[in-house]
Structure 1
Amino acid sequence: MYSLILHVKRSNTELEKLVFSSATTLSRKGQNFTVSTYLIESLGFTTKLAESISKKVSFEDQGINPDSVLTLFRSYGFTESQISTIITDYPKLLLLDAENSLAPKLKFLHSMKGASTSEFTEIVSTVPKLLGKRGDKTLSVYYDFVRDVIHKCQVLSHSSLPQGNLENKIRNVTALRELGVPQRSLFHLLVSRYQPVCGKERFQESLKKVVEKGFDPTTSKFVQALHVVYQLSDRTVEEKVDVYKRLGFSVEDVWDMFKKWPNSLKFSVKKVTQTFETLKKCGLTDEEVVALLKKNPQFLRVSEQNIASSIETFLGLGFSNGEFAMMIKRYPVCIGFSAETVKKKTEFLVEEMDWSLEAVVSHPQVFSYSMGKRMVPRCSVIKALMSKGLLGSELPSVCSVLACTDKMFLRRYVRKHNDKGLVAELMAIFTRVHKACLEQ
């Protein structure tokens, strides 16, 4: 069904050989028939369709008997329309030994699954590729999956959820499963309003592009990339790549960003340019903005208003333009924190703990730490040690107190003491404050 899709992990050269390998004659009843002639006369295909299919199979005189394949399908209750669909989507079935290869699979599925003839023929004709599976267990699992997808699609067809061509949806979702896309992601694709699994040629082209970019089908980024590529024409993609190039990115940079965050290609030219210029207002140079977005392309979604608000918040707390720029370079996600979070944590660190603004600038990751689970309990222990004169006259660095794990912190500031009573007291402070913060 999807020659290109099923063998995506082969080289492009091998793909082309597989898809376009062709032979033009078939020995039948002592006469030479072209493949296209056979399809026209036996199944009533149009000349155009028959010629297209003849490029995908090799009918050579090696004992091939396609008539026996068609007869076998008819004996199991497949209609002429279903048989035509099967051969159109998976013409290589005509090359199989009907008695020894195909018949056992049809018999197994029909007898073991207990489905009605109509359900059985619907499932097989919708995704005939399942007949290419080997082994009863694999065949059974694949058949059950197709049946479940058909059921879900039928539910969708009676709901207000996005629909589209049912047959295409089932085939496309099945092809994605074949690649390894997790089942939890497949249902989301079925109900997506962007309909990335509705088309046929367009779906195949989009999937091929995503696979060629090296996305892992088992990850969510694969599905995200499929959404994006399906929605964008080649011309639109070229225009967006050109915008990035004008801003100082290389083509390789653009595709690296796409692999990190597929949605980086979704934004309009205006949005990309606007975000770039707004980030420069943070005190960054063109080269620094490029470096920031290459590493964190998700910052393209931050609005101009949020960036402006972030600048205002940090400057209002006493940070200089240079210090703010330094924090953004060291920890870009600072831009995304709310004004309330930034103010609360800065005031705690500077006013209550007496660390300097420069200390915060040196480790801006502190804005991502939890007040209740990390900052307040640990700082309470530090305060107790300072009050007892056990840390000298200077506070330890912000990084040494807050950047480590709880285990490391306790080893560094609590359990190292020889006084068991002191250790117990410090542990009590740490535990009590931690619990109290969580209960608030």
Structure 2
Amino acid sequence: MMLVRKNSSLLVGFLSGTSKISILLSPSNTLTSLRLLTSKADDPSPKTPFIVKYLIDSLGLSSPEADKCSKSLTHIKSPSNPDSVLEFFRKNGFTDADIKRILCSHSRVLCAKVDSTLKPKFEVMRDLGFSDTQITKLITANPLTLNYLSYCNLRPRIEFFNTFLDSYDDIVKAISKDKSLLASSLEKTIKPNIAFLKECQFSFERIVSLLIRGRGVIGRAPKSLKSIVKRVNELGVPHGSGMFFLTFRCLCGVSVDMFDAKMKLLASLGFSQSELLSAILKQPLILCLSAKNLCEKVDFLVKEAGCELSYVSRYPTMVGLSMTKRLIPRNYVMKLIMERGLLKKKIGFFYFVSISERNFLNKYIFSFQQRMPELPNIYRSASAGKFLY
């Protein structure tokens, strides 16, 4: 009986709205709860960081570009300093496209102080004789050079480079492509490297070429440079020859481990040791090809073009030719004109793929067009990856 009364009182309390459950389920509280849930669901995405929005609004960077540039700028909360940097660059002849390129490469320049950092660097270059156009080209091409532009660092280098390079335009080209020419020690690295290359019978012209176009060569550690020359010597390339220079340039971009791996790969494809050396001495650029590229081309030359490995090693230039633009379409045409009996004698595959496009069209496309009118279209289609027969 007591249990029934107790349950009855609980039920009355529940129905009368005095219980905790009834309070929670009251119309006002239910509406409040719904509002809270709705407000959370409708909350906007996290607010865009100031610097990201600044980069988008001030220079028109895309969101991904701004996100990438902002990683080292998250401490910037005010437009004051960035505005002064952008104004400085614009006053010095940089377009917004130039500034955008600079920031995408070296975004921390937005943190620089204009009066104490940027102005002195520009004044140094002007005092040394660089024109505003040359300064703009240099900094836009290689923004990291800003870190090394000081009078005591730049002046002796300009004086030294002037003994090899004819003009400030050439110096700008050199430094633009290779910041190590400013970052590496002049006395401990650059001068010793050039002296060593002279000992290896590199001509004046080739040293100039390395300065202007040899990115990361003259400014690398002397020990590394000597190691590369040692590897070229081991291949048996004579000093002073054009092939020594070409092999040296190729090996500058290939580490010892990469070189050993490439030699093992070529051996695994069936080349003998003598064939390997012959191929590399004639075309060292094959060392710069990726493993996949190298395997695909050798496989094509042997299986599709019918070349022996010994033939490939005699004419390794073929391995450096484009598969889609040269090897495949010309091989396709060669087989067709041979099947039609248009060739009076067999032509070596190397000659067929190595002659210039103009000569190839005249000798093997247009000359046979009368007997095979569809040939130009066949070759054009094959060059586009479409084979009509």
How many Å separate the matches in 2 of 1:320 and 1:161?
58
Q: Verify the 8 A CA contact 1:249 1:290 in the aligned structure 2.
A: no
How many Å separate the matches in 1 of 2:108 and 2:292?
46
Are 2:373 and 1:423 equivalent residues in the alignment? yes
Structure 2 length normalisation: TM-score? Answer: 0.61
How many Å separate the matches in 1 of 2:160 and 2:181?
11
What count of residue pairs does the alignment treat as equivalent? 289
Which 5+ residue runs of structure 1 have no aligned equivalent? Answer: 1-122, 127-142
How many Å separate the matches in 1 of 2:125 and 2:250?
28
Are residues 265 and 244 of structure 1, via their aligned partners in 2, closer, same or farther at CA, if it must alter by over 3 Å? same
Q: Which 10-residue stretch deviates more, 173-182 or 370-379?
A: 173-182
Which residue is equivalent to 1:271? 224
Report the Cα offset of residue 232 of structure 1: 1.4
Q: Of the candidates 316, 328, 336, which is equivalent to residue 376 of structure 1?
A: 328
Q: Which 10-residue stretch deviates more, 341-350 or 263-272?
A: 263-272
Report the Cα offset of residue 228 of structure 1: 0.8
Q: Which amino acid aligns with 1:423?
A: P
Which residue is equivalent to 1:54? none
Report the Cα offset of residue 267 of structure 1: 2.1
Q: Which 10-residue stretch deviates more, 249-258 or 344-353?
A: 249-258
How many Å separate the matches in 2 of 1:401 and 1:161?
58
Instruction: Indicate the RMSD between aligned Cα atoms, in angstroms.
Output: 4.0
How many Å separate the matches in 2 of 1:431 and 1:390?
19
Report the Cα offset of residue 298 of structure 1: 5.2
Report the Cα offset of residue 241 of structure 1: 4.8
User: Identity of paired residues, percent?
Assistant: 14
1:406-429 Cα shifts (integer Å, max 9, x gaps): 332121112112634x132x2232
Are residues 262 and 339 of structure 1, via their aligned partners in 2, closer, same or farther at CA, if it must alter by over 3 Å? closer
Query: Is the partner of 2:366 in helix, strand or coil?
Result: coil
Which residue is equivalent to 1:214? 165
Are residues 378 and 351 of structure 1, via their aligned partners in 2, closer, same or farther at CA, if it must alter by over 3 Å? same
Report the Cα offset of residue 186 of structure 1: 2.7
Once the two structures are superposed, the pairs formed by residues 35-434 of structure 1 within 5 Å of their partners are 146=92, 148=94, 159=110, 165-174=117-126, 177-178=130-131, 181=134, 183-189=136-142, 191-192=143-144, 195-197=147-149, 199-219=150-170, 220-224=173-177, 227-229=180-182, 231-241=184-194, 244=197, 248-249=200-201, 255-256=207-208, 258-259=210-211, 261=214, 263-280=216-233, 283-285=235-237, 287=239, 292-293=244-245, 296-297=248-249, 299-392=251-344, 394=346, 396-417=347-368, 419-420=370-371, 422-424=372-374, 426-434=375-383
How many Å separate the matches in 2 of 1:297 and 1:311?
18
Structure 1 length normalisation: TM-score? Answer: 0.55
Q: Which 10-residue stretch deviates more, 402-411 or 234-243?
A: 234-243
Are residues 418 and 261 of structure 1, via their aligned partners in 2, closer, same or farther at CA, if it must alter by over 3 Å? closer
Query: Is the partner of 2:92 in helix, strand or coil?
Result: helix
Are residues 352 and 144 of structure 1, via their aligned partners in 2, closer, same or farther at CA, if it must alter by over 3 Å? closer
Q: Verify the 8 A CA contact 1:310 1:335 in the aligned structure 2.
A: yes
Q: Verify the 8 A CA contact 1:363 1:399 in the aligned structure 2.
A: yes
Are residues 250 and 333 of structure 1, via their aligned partners in 2, closer, same or farther at CA, if it must alter by over 3 Å? closer
Query: Is the partner of 1:399 in helix, strand or coil?
Result: helix
How many Å separate the matches in 2 of 1:312 and 1:261?
27
Q: Verify the 8 A CA contact 2:294 2:319 in the aligned structure 1.
A: yes
Q: Which 10-residue stretch deviates more, 368-377 or 403-412?
A: 403-412
How many Å separate the matches in 2 of 1:204 and 1:345?
49
Query: Is the partner of 1:265 in helix, strand or coil?
Result: coil
How many Å separate the matches in 2 of 1:350 and 1:288?
35
How many Å separate the matches in 2 of 1:235 and 1:326?
37
Report the Cα offset of residue 384 of structure 1: 0.6
Q: Verify the 8 A CA contact 2:93 2:136 in the aligned structure 1.
A: no
Q: Which 10-residue stretch deviates more, 165-174 or 284-293?
A: 284-293
How many Å separate the matches in 1 of 2:242 and 2:113?
38
Query: Is the partner of 2:306 in helix, strand or coil?
Result: coil
Are residues 321 and 162 of structure 1, via their aligned partners in 2, closer, same or farther at CA, if it must alter by over 3 Å? farther
Report the Cα offset of residue 383 of structure 1: 0.6
Report the Cα offset of residue 204 of structure 1: 1.9
Query: Is the partner of 1:212 in helix, strand or coil?
Result: coil
Are residues 437 and 165 of structure 1, via their aligned partners in 2, closer, same or farther at CA, if it must alter by over 3 Å? farther
Q: Verify the 8 A CA contact 1:381 1:430 in the aligned structure 2.
A: yes
Q: Verify the 8 A CA contact 1:414 1:427 in the aligned structure 2.
A: yes
Greater C-alpha radius of gyration: 2
Are residues 419 and 187 of structure 1, via their aligned partners in 2, closer, same or farther at CA, if it must alter by over 3 Å? closer
How many Å separate the matches in 2 of 1:339 and 1:267?
26
